């Protein structure tokens, strides 16, 4: 049956409305994504590229810097994300208490780091964590350490410094999500539990956490993606080297170095980029799998 | 099992006094209903008994023990909330058994108590469902079940039926009455619905602006209200209240200046009064009468209410002994027994 004129004109109008967005999306998102996938199979230096099949993937397995970067990235992810999520949750619960004074002040103070300038804060962190910086001086004054720690000069402490920096910056951001979710929970649920004699720790463990599960999943996935793409803090705190001796180099920093600092090898850096995509996809899938709702039993 | 005593209990939030000195005795196994308009402090009073709100001054005794500073969990109470407050991520079974785990009950004991509550409330088939799969009435029953498993001395209900539709509300009302019979515990129940109060209570406590206006059995409050507020609040449809002045030999109403009504009580001449008569106390056999003109007729089938007026502005509600032939515009002689009249002074207090 022939379409009526009205339906036809609505269809054309509809396409006209979405067309600008589609063109821009295609041009700036889909095209680069497809092109980078194509690039990841190219070998060669600079502009001198040729199709290399799986050569780049083979190179990955034998590249010590890549393996180091992969391990570093995972270390940051495994240590930092749980610490930050737990801290954010504890802060949120503490700051949701209506009897706490200066709540607004505390909330703002904890949220502020994520809106501060990246360069400003990493510069300050760099000076704070210098060998003669305020952190070492304080720790020594408190007699917690006998001699200064070489925060950014030691492979282990450099990682710790970076974890402290990103935790400082992003905890408040995650806390805001929890605060919003907590305010949606019916207060009488907690009152009922209190009257029934459920202790405070159990109210947190068995009521708050399960009821926040969707938000915890969301923040975990977002933080995972953020940590796997970690670049800025490492670049700024280590002067772009990922040092000492590649001990803090991350996948993103390695991609940057491959593309812009070493002899450019665009094809190989595209391959490393796709590794991040793959890892993020797998981890997000696993997180959804772990957090999925219990199957509702049909009785 | 235990009664409650409240002695000059007060509550203020900052400079705002919400409860202004409440004295109340609640006997063991009594069903007590706090009723009053919104903002009268009835929920606050209940929450103070529960321990969810601090008592600013005065004493609260449950049994013989002063409970002002005792943790809510140790007061021997259980509470059912208006919003049900079920744990959304737990099944019905887990909802009811959750708190028992922290009271040190064994698995067998929890299962046994949950089973018992499920039997009383007929929840057996729903034990593995989640709250979101239940209807409002079922959720309410789970909330009650969660209270029952703790075997409390005192049940507190905070407007438990407000979120249910009218039909279910009547059904649950009967369920709660049955439950009180079966459990034989003290119940304190808050509602703004005077029908719920009348049907459920052994003792009604009418609250307004943080003070008790009157406390007593439902029929006591209906037959013998202490003041205008209670007279107007208890009973449905509402009592008719008419302004008038006492004269030698009777009361003259402003809306019926041509008639002198016989007064059931002695009032000095010249005293301004308010006269109350319930719609259902109009009786064709009555000795006294008011000449009215019918404006609106409501047929309920079993009863016909007429809304009628004298010469003033007050619209009277009259039960007409199911007079189905009445029409708007008719003249109607509203007869009643003079003894049915209640007389109140200008301060709102009953003149007896």
The DSSP result for A107-146, as a single string, is HHHHHGGGGS-HHHHHHHHHHHTSTTSHHHHHHHHTTS-S
CB B295 within 8 A of CB B289: no
Nearest Cα of chain A lies from the Cα of B313 at a distance, in angstroms, of 46
Which residues pair with residue B59 across a beta bridge? Answer: B7
pLDDT of residue B126: 92
Q: Which residue of B has its CA nearest to A200?
A: B102
pLDDT of residue A3: 63
CA A126 to chain centre: 21
**How many angstroms separate the most distant Cα atoms in chain A?**
88
Q: Is residue A194 part of a domain?
A: yes
Nearest Cα of chain B lies from the Cα of A126 at a distance, in angstroms, of 46
More confident residue, A288 or B222: B222
Query: Which of chain A's residues have a Cβ under 8 Å away from the Cβ of B82?
Result: 188
pLDDT tens digits along B86-101: 999 999 999 999 999 9
Q: Compute CA distances B149 → A104, A208, A237, B52, B334, whole Å.
A: 40, 23, 59, 20, 54
Nearest Cα of chain A lies from the Cα of B133 at a distance, in angstroms, of 10
Provide the token pair at B305.
């209410």
- Contact status of B85 with chain A (Cβ, < 8 Å): yes
Measured torsion, CA atoms of residues A157, A158, A161, A167, in degrees rounded to the nearest 10: -110
Closest CA to B219 of B230, B228, B211, B207: B230
Give first-to-last CA distance, chain B, whole Å: 38
Classify residue B336 as exposed, middle or buried by CB count within 10 Å of its CB (0-12, 13-18, 19+): buried
CA distance B140 to B147: 11
Domain limits at A115? 57-291
CB B339 within 8 A of CB B222: no
Query: Which of chain A's residues have a Cβ under 8 Å away from the Cβ of B78?
Result: 195-196
Nearest Cα of chain A lies from the Cα of B89 at a distance, in angstroms, of 7
Closest CA to B176 of B166, B162, B189: B189
pLDDT tens digits along A222-257: 898 888 888 888 888 887 777 788 888 888 888 888
Query: Which of chain B's residues have a Cβ under 8 Å away from the Cβ of A296?
Result: 129-130, 133
Residues B229, B235, B241: CA angle, nearest 5 degrees: 50
Kindly calculate the radius of gyration of chain A based on its CA atoms and give it in whole angstroms: 25
Closest CA to B46 of B160, B123, B135: B160
CB A162 within 8 A of CB A237: yes
CA distance B163 to A157: 58
Regarding whether A205 and A190 lie in a shared domain, the answer is yes
pLDDT of residue A293: 67
- Range with the largest mean pLDDT of A110-124, A149-163, A260-274, B135-149: B135-149
Helix, strand, coil percentages in chain A from 3-state DSSP, rounded to 5: 70, 0, 25
pLDDT of residue B187: 95
Regarding whether A136 and A232 lie in a shared domain, the answer is yes
Could you tell me if residue B41 is left (phi over 0), alpha (psi between -120 and 50 degrees) or otherwise beta? left
Q: Which of B74, B79, B129 is closest, CB to CB, to A192?
A: B79
Angle, to 10 degrees, between the axis of helix A64-95 and the axis of helix A266-291? 40
Query: Which of chain A's residues have a Cβ under 8 Å away from the Cβ of B125?
Result: 299
Q: Which of A188, A198, A296 is closest, CB to CB, to B99?
A: A198
Query: Which of chain B's residues have a Cβ under 8 Å away from the Cβ of A212?
Result: none
CB A276 within 8 A of CB A252: yes
Comparing A41-55, A96-110, B96-110, B189-203, which segment has the lowest mean pLDDT? A41-55
- Contact status of B123 with chain A (Cβ, < 8 Å): no
Query: Which of chain A's residues have a Cβ under 8 Å away from the Cβ of B83?
Result: 186, 188
Place of tokens 């009953």: B350
| For range A183-193, the mean pLDDT | 92
Regarding whether A66 and A44 lie in a shared domain, the answer is no
ipTM of the complex: 0.85
pLDDT of residue B231: 94
8-state DSSP, B73: G
Regarding whether A281 and A140 lie in a shared domain, the answer is yes
Q: Which residues contact B177 (CB under 8 A, 6 or more apart)?
A: B199, B200
Q: Based on the structure, what is the number of domains in chain A?
A: 2
pLDDT of residue A12: 92
Q: Is residue A298 part of a domain?
A: no
Regarding whether A262 and A158 lie in a shared domain, the answer is yes
Residues B255, B256, B257: CA angle, nearest 5 degrees: 105
Regarding whether A223 and A85 lie in a shared domain, the answer is yes
Nearest Cα of chain A lies from the Cα of B184 at a distance, in angstroms, of 20
| For range A67-90, the mean pLDDT | 92
Residues above pLDDT 70, as percent of chain A: 97
| For range A268-297, the mean pLDDT | 81
Tell me how many residue pairs between chain A and chain B have CB atoms under 8 A apart.
Answer: 66
Regarding whether A225 and A120 lie in a shared domain, the answer is yes
Contact A299 B87 (CB under 8 A): no
- Beta B304-309 vs B315-319: how paired, if at all? antiparallel
Q: Compute CA distances A37 → A45, A70, A136, A139, A266, whole Å.
A: 17, 20, 46, 49, 11
Measured torsion, CA atoms of residues A178, A179, A183, A184, in degrees rounded to the nearest 10: -30
Contact B77 A195 (CB under 8 A): yes
CB A251 within 8 A of CB A77: no
CA distance B168 to B317: 28
Regarding whether A259 and A222 lie in a shared domain, the answer is yes
Contacts for A33-41: CB closer than 8 Å, 24+ residues apart: A36/A270, A36/A273, A36/A274, A37/A270, A37/A274, A39/A266, A39/A267, A39/A270, A40/A267, A40/A270, A40/A271, A40/A273, A40/A274, A41/A267
Regarding whether A176 and A138 lie in a shared domain, the answer is yes
Nearest Cα of chain A lies from the Cα of B87 at a distance, in angstroms, of 7
8-state DSSP, B63: T
Closest CA to B96 of B129, B71, B136: B129
Using 50, 70 and 90 to split pLDDT, how confident is the model at A212?
A: very high
Q: Which of A189, A194, A206 is closest, CB to CB, to B72?
A: A194
CATH number at residue A239: 1.10.3720.10
Using 50, 70 and 90 to split pLDDT, how confident is the model at A204?
A: very high
Nearest Cα of chain A lies from the Cα of B72 at a distance, in angstroms, of 5
Query: Which residues in chain B show pLDDT less than 50?
Result: none
Query: Which of chain A's residues have a Cβ under 8 Å away from the Cβ of B142?
Result: none
Provide the token pair at A110.
């904890």
Query: Which of chain B's residues have a Cβ under 8 Å away from the Cβ of A184?
Result: none
CB A107 within 8 A of CB A100: no
CA distance B37 to B251: 31
In chain B, where the domains are located: 4-233, 240-345
CATH for B4-233 (2.40.50.140, 3.40.50.300, 3.40.50.720, 3.90.1150.10): 3.40.50.300
Regarding whether A217 and A149 lie in a shared domain, the answer is yes
Query: Which of chain A's residues have a Cβ under 8 Å away from the Cβ of B52?
Result: 191, 194-195
Q: Which residues contact A11 (CB under 8 A, 6 or more apart)?
A: A3
Classify residue A248 as exposed, middle or buried by CB count within 10 Å of its CB (0-12, 13-18, 19+): buried
- Contact status of B48 with chain A (Cβ, < 8 Å): no
Q: Is residue A296 part of a domain?
A: no
Kindly calculate the radius of gyration of chain B based on its CA atoms and give it in whole angstroms: 24
Regarding whether A96 and A27 lie in a shared domain, the answer is no
Q: Is residue A286 part of a domain?
A: yes
pLDDT of residue A1: 52
CA distance A135 to A12: 64
CA distance B328 to B175: 41
Q: Compute CA distances B34 → B45, B199, B207, B349, whole Å.
A: 9, 13, 7, 21
Regarding whether A85 and A180 lie in a shared domain, the answer is yes
Fold for B240-345, please state it.
OB fold (Dihydrolipoamide Acetyltransferase, E2P) (2.40.50)
| For range A18-27, the mean pLDDT | 94
Q: State the average pLDDT for chain A.
A: 86
Contact A196 B130 (CB under 8 A): no
Kindly report the length of chain B. 352
Q: Which residue of A has its CA nearest to B126?
A: A299
């Amino acid at each position: 049956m022939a379409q009526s004129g009205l339906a036809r004109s609505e269809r054309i109008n509809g396409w006209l409305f979405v067309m600008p967005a589609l063109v821009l999306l295609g041009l700036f998102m889909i095209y680069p994504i497809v092109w980078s996938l194509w690039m990841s199979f190219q070998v060669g230096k600079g502009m001198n590229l040729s199709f290399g099949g799986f050569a780049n993937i083979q190179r990955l397995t034998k590249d010590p810097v890549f393996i180091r970067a992969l391990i570093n990235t995972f270390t940051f992810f495994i240590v930092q994300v749980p610490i930050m999520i737990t801290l954010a949750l504890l802060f949120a619960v503490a700051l949701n208490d209506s009897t706490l004074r200066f709540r607004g002040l505390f909330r703002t103070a904890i949220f502020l780091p994520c809106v501060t300038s990246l360069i400003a804060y990493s510069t300050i962190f760099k000076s704070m964590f210098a060998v003669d910086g305020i952190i070492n001086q304080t720790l020594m004054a408190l007699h917690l350490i006998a001699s200064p720690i070489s925060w950014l000069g030691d492979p282990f402490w450099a990682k710790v410094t970076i974890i402290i920096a990103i935790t400082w910056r992003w905890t408040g951001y995650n806390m805001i999500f929890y605060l919003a979710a907590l305010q949606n929970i019916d207060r009488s649920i907690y009152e009922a539990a209190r009257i029934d004699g459920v202790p405070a720790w159990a109210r947190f463990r068995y009521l708050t956490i399960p009821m926040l599960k969707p938000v915890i999943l969301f923040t975990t996935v977002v933080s995972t993606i953020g940590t796997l793409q970690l670049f800025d803090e490492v670049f700024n705190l280590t002067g772009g080297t990922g040092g000492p001796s590649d001990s803090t180099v991350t996948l993103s920093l390695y991609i940057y170095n491959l593309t812009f600092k070493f002899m450019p090898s665009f094809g190989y850096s595209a391959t490393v980029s796709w590794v991040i995509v793959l890892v993020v996809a797998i981890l997000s899938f696993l997180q959804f799998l772990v957090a999925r709702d219990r199957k509702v039993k049909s009785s | 099992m235990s009664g409650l005593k409240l002695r000059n209990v007060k509550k203020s939030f900052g400079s705002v006094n919400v409860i202004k000195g409440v004295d109340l005795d609640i006997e063991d196994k009594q069903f007590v209903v706090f009723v009053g308009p919104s903002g009268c402090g009835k929920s606050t009073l209940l929450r103070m008994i529960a321990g969810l709100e601090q008592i600013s001054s005065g004493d609260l005794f449950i049994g013989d023990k002063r409970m002002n500073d005792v943790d809510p969990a140790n007061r021997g109470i259980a509470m059912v909330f208006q919003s049900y407050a079920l744990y959304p991520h737990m099944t019905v079974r887990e909802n009811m058994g959750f708190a028992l785990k922290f009271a040190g009950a064994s698995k067998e004991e929890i299962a046994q108590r949950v089973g018992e509550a499920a039997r009383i409330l007929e929840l057996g088939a729903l034990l593995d469902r989640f709250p979101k799969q239940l209807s409002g009435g079922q959720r309410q029953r789970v909330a009650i079940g969660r209270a029952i498993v703790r075997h409390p001395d005192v049940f507190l209900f905070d407007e438990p039926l407000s979120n249910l539709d009218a039909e279910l509300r009547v059904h649950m009302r009967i369920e709660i009455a049955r439950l009180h019979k079966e459990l034989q515990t003290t119940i304190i129940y808050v509602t703004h619905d005077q029908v719920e109060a009348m049907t459920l209570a052994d003792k009604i406590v009418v609250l307004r602006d943080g003070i008790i206006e009157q406390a007593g059995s439902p029929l006591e409050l209906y037959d013998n209200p202490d003041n205008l507020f209670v007279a107007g609040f208890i009973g449905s449809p509402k009592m008719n209240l008419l302004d008038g002045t006492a004269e030698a030999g009777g009361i003259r109403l402003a809306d019926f200046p041509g008639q002198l009504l016989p007064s059931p009580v002695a009032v000095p001449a010249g005293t301004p009064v308010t006269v109350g008569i319930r719609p259902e106390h109009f009786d064709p056999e009555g000795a006294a009468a008011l000449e009215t003109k019918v404006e609106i007729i409501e047929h309920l089938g079993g009863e016909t209410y007429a809304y009628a007026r004298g010469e003033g502005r007050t619209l009277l509600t009259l039960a007409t002994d199911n007079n189905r032939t009445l029409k708007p515009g008719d003249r109607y002689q509203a007869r009643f027994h003079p003894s049915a009249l209640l007389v109140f002074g200008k301060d709102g207090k009953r003149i007896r």
